[in-house]
Amino acid sequence: MSPRRIAVIECPEEIPCNPCETVCPQGAIQVGNPITSRPRLDTRHCIGCGACVAACPGLAIFLVSSDNNGPDEVTFPYEFLPRPEPGESVTAVNRDGESLGPAWVKACWQPQGADGTYLVTITLPVGLATKARGIRRPSHDR
Amino acid sequence: MSALTIARSGAQVVLIDENDQPGGQLCKQIHKFFGSKDHRAGVRGYRIATELLEDCAAAGVEILTDTVVFSIQDCTLGLAHRDDCFYLKAQAIILATGASENPLAFPGSTLPGVMGAGAAQTFVNLHRVLPGRRVLMVGGGNVGLIVSYQLLQAGAQVVGVVEALPRLSGYQVHAAKIKRAGVPIWTGHTVLEANGDQEVQEVTVAAVDDHFQPLPGSERTLAVDTICLAVGLTPLAELAWQAGCRFFYQSALGGQVPLHSVNMESTVPHIYVAGDMAGVEEASTALEEGTIAGLAAATAMGCSVPQAELEAAQERLASLRRGPFGDLRQRAKSELIKRWTDCHPGE
Ligand SMILES: Cc1cc2nc3c(=O)[nH]c(=O)nc-3n(C[C@H](O)[C@H](O)[C@H](O)COP(=O)(O)OP(=O)(O)OC[C@H]3O[C@@H](n4cnc5c(N)ncnc54)[C@H](O)[C@@H]3O)c2cc1C
Ligand code: SF4
Ligand code: SF4
């Protein structure tokens, strides 16, 4: 059985914003009134579709899946060119851009209405799903 | 937004902008916007500008581009378009001239390569030219953070962001984007000097104490070819000064701002103000203020405007000024409105 993929929202401040709430087809995210409230996710309803990941202007939502039997998977929004290719080997980085070691691009995809933003799904060693939030690409270093 | 609102109320509207495309800041914002659905959140800024313009054209707004307003007197505007100069008389005028970037003086700040962050943004997003390859960003507000990200997208290297305050004033989600990309953010730091032969070649930054004085020994010198300044915006309100509007200093709104009513009327009859020139905020608040000014001006000109629409816009505006980021601006705005009311006893 493949591990369940769910959204993780890292939006720590009370800012006037709610596209995550309006875009979720499952109604799993609630911002409510006032619009400056922080988003809350009801994980029971999340199907990991990624719509909120692409819609969030703060690029603050990720999809994470982990179980003990296989590698972890993290999905994050990506707005740089060139687009990562499936199979590309990359370096996973944490929230401070520090290396966490090797990872592999599993997919580069767009949910509906993504408007230019790509979602990159990487696989990486077990236990890193809570830390990995982006990639560096040795093959494209400037 | 003002122009659109008034045109939809049935009045004749002329929209004047000095650029070849109206839309102001929105035209160069390639990122998705914050806000709610009503404020087109999640839509990229330049698309909001295009949509608004199309709506304006459809509503019959006459659009004068490449045209500078150089004077205003008793509801008559002086306009300059290329070599031509002419005057336009109006029943009501809405000033929405935006804001200008603040400079910062330091040794070397006049070297080529030192520029406003907004200028760098215009380079990469409008003209598709990279202003430099190694950039230092000065200022950790949303403009500094967003433009840093956009410079990375354009292929530049951002060697760091310095912010003199002990913490960033921009949103953490914007800071997180560039941190993940490996850009160091130095809070409690300032720029000391820039050096270079003909243009910027290096910059020295240092940590500062509680009084913003550089701490000896903390200096570090970085090789850069560009220094971007994102140290705040000041309302561009010359026309309102010329018209004789009363002002009040509000640092939370960027400096001297014209007094205005809840309906965005200035202290001069028939002149309304909206957006960053009436207090530097955000596009979402600028859109709502524009709507309110438009509805109020249309009412004053005798068009029938549902009062509920005006109230709804005022409510949406208030909701945008809540929370830790909006609170200061809300208080500053209330003060402006109170002072406007003091000048208009009985209203
Ligand atoms: C980098 C950056 C990122 C931003 N991100 C966001 C965001 O995510 N969400 C958000 O809500 N807001 C954001 N903003 C803020 C937002 O862009 C501004 O608050 C908003 O555009 C203000 O609109 P305005 O119409 O008042 O002014 P402007 O957009 O500045 O428009 C003013 C226009 O008037 C013209 N003008 C001025 N004087 C004259 C004259 N005398 N004659 C003729 N024309 C004149 C100017 O050329 C300009 O076109 C951002 C701003 C920046 C700089
Ligand atoms: S991943 Fe899909 S279902 Fe889950 S919260 Fe986001 S939009 Fe909703
Ligand atoms: S869309 Fe993103 S930035 Fe906006 S409230 Fe939701 S999580 Fe926060």
HSE, side-chain direction, 13 A CA sphere, residue B225: 7
Partners of B35 on chain A (C-beta within 8 Å) are 16-18, 35
The pLDDT value given to residue B23: 94
Of residues B40 and A30, which shows the higher confidence score?
A30
* Model pLDDT, residue A33: 87
Check B319 against A35: CB less than 8 A apart. Answer: yes
Q: How far is CA B15 from CA A10, B61, B79, in A?
A: 41, 7, 12
Q: Is the CB of A87 inside 8 Å of chain B's CB atoms?
A: no
Question: For B46-57, how does the pLDDT look when each residue is reduced to its tens digit (9 = 90+)?
Answer: 999 999 999 999
Q: Give B36: exposed, middle or buried? Use CB within 10 Å, 0-12, 13-18, 19+.
A: buried
- Mean pLDDT (whole number) for B238-261: 98
- Tally Cβ neighbours within 10 Å of residue B273: 31
Of A6, A8, A23, A24, best ligand 2 pocket probe by most atoms within 8 Å of the beta carbon:
A24
Query: How confident is the model over B16-63, as pLDDT tens digits?
Result: 999 999 999 999 999 999 888 888 888 999 999 999 999 999 999 999
Interchain proximity B323–A11, CB inside 8 Å: no
Average pLDDT over residues A82-90: 96
Dump pLDDT digits (tens) for B183-236. 999 999 999 999 999 999 999 999 999 999 999 999 999 999 999 999 999 999
pLDDT tens-digit series, residues B281-294: 999 999 999 999 99
Give the pLDDT band (50/70/90) at residue B265: very high
- The 10 Å CB-count burial string (b at 16+, else e) for B216-239 is eeeeeeeebbbbbbbbbbbbbbbb
ipTM for the complex shown: 0.95
CB atoms inside a 10 Å sphere around CB B180: 21
Residue B153, exposed/middle/buried by CB under 10 A (0-12, 13-18, 19+)?
Answer: middle
Rounded to the nearest angstrom, the distance between the alpha carbon of A52 and the centre of ligand 2 is 6
Q: Which atom belonging to ligand 1 lies closest to the Cα atom of B25?
A: 29
Instruction: Tell how far the Cα of B51 is from the centroid of ligand 2, in angstroms.
Output: 28
Q: How confident is the model at residue A2 (pLDDT cuts 50, 70, 90)?
A: low
Give mean pLDDT, residues B2-11: 92
**Residue to mutate (ligand 2; options A5, A18, A29, A110; most atoms within 8 A of CB):** A29
CA of A9 to the centre of ligand 2 (A): 10
How many residues belong to chain B? 347
B33-37, B99-103, B158-162: segment of lowest average pLDDT: B33-37
Q: What are phi and psi of A30, to 5 degrees?
A: -125, 125
- Of A52 and A34, which is predicted with more confidence? A52
Q: What's the gap in Å between the CA of B185 and the closest CA on chain A?
A: 10
Predicted pLDDT at A1: 44
Asked whether the beta carbons of A27 and A45 are under 8 A apart, the reply is: yes
State yes or no: pLDDT of A114 exceeds 80. yes
pLDDT at A68: 64
Question: Between B178 and B323, whose confidence is greater?
Answer: B178
pLDDT class for A129, splitting at 50, 70, 90? very high
| % of chain B surpassing 90 pLDDT | 94
